[in-house]
Amino acid sequence: MKKFTSVSDVKNLQEIIKKALQIKENPHSETEKGKGKTIGLVFLNSSLRTRLSSQIAAQNLGLNVLTLNAAQEAWNLEFADGAVMNGDTVEHIKDAIEVLNQYCDIIAVRCFAGMKSKEDDVNESILSQFEQHAKVPVISLESATRHPLQSLADCITITENWKEDRKPKVVLTWAPHIKPIAQAVGNSFAEWMQEMDVDFVIANPEGYDLDKKFTKDSKVIHNQDEALKDADFIYVKNWSSFDEYATMPEVKENWMLTGEKLKNTNKGKVMHCLPVRRNVELSDEVMDGENSIIYQQAKNRIFSAQAVFSEILNEIN
Ligand code: CP
């Protein structure tokens, strides 16, 4: 694996899931693999799980870890090509990446959608600069349109929780939120589910359809109860409108996932990438209930990251 920014960088999804599950059994089986190598974890946005699980994964592989909380600790970055930097920005992203090239053998970056320009976000205006200027492998820690390490952890979690000899029904359901949220997690989950042997359905209100580039021919239903019927896995996530970019069209029905709604499912396991707004996206009863596999999902972020870092190390060692 030369880079990891989407599912298309994975040669064989089932193989990497298997590898991640083996790592989970024995996380310290490759402690020498990253010896003498450095991974830079660059965060242009906040994080709990991605930061910590990536650090644990890298340490388990013997990598040196540099974590840069760029938004808080670094110079104010300029992203525009050709900018006359006579304002608030102090360092151009191109220069920052060139310096990271001097210090790191792998660069991992978190760069969320700015939610101001649809064109910039759709074109991955920041991640693309890392891909263009980095001279070492680049890993996405969530970009404007995708969250691949999360999606791999989601695939690992579904695999662990499915032992029946039929395809599980997996429903990605939109949930309410108090402010506009990017589509990255939903997009990414849709892309990865299309590579899994599952019956995949997306449920969202009218006006909230995700970009067809990611959903392709996945079934989209605008009635949550209909979508949830007999679901084996329910992935709860908010996103803002893609068509009327980054807005929140009014939704009259209550889309918060509750215990009552779960009764309509096949004892469906509940997933969420976290952080979650309790009693807005899903109820306390669901979050703390026996159907929730959300903390297991968070734990699997370690093994998702470790499997990917290990594959990248195969390339550069
Ligand atoms: N799910 C996830 O990416 O969590 P963080 O934003 O806390 O990293």
- Long-range contacts of residues 283-290, Cβ cutoff 8 Å, at least 24 apart: 283/256, 283/257, 283/258, 283/259, 285/258, 285/259, 286/257, 286/258, 286/259, 286/262, 289/259, 289/262
CB-CB contact of 173 with 226 (8 Å): no
Q: Specify the pLDDT at position 96.
A: 97
Identify the three-state secondary structure at position 64: strand
Q: Which atom of ligand 1 is nearest to the CA of 51?
A: 8
* pTM greater than the 0.90 cutoff: yes
For ligand 1, pick from 41, 45, 50, 277 the residue to mutate: most ligand atoms within 8 Å of CB: 50
* Average of per-residue pLDDT across 239-246: 98
Confirm whether residue 142 is marked as ligand binding: yes
- Note the pLDDT tens digit of each residue in 218-231: 999 999 999 999 99
133 is in an annotated binding site: no
Ligand 1 centroid vs 148 CA: distance in angstroms? 12
Query: Is pLDDT of 317 > 90?
Result: no
What is the pLDDT averaged over residues 242-258?
98
273 labeled binding residue: yes
Residue 121 — pLDDT band, cuts 50, 70, 90?
very high
Give 21 Cα–ligand 1 centroid separation in angstroms.
21
* 237 marked as binding residue: yes
The average confidence (pLDDT) of the chain is 98
pLDDT above 90: residue 104: yes
Measured from CB, residues less than 6 Å from any atom of ligand 1 are 47-50, 142, 150, 273-275
Cα 166 to averaged position of ligand 1 atoms, centre (Å):
31
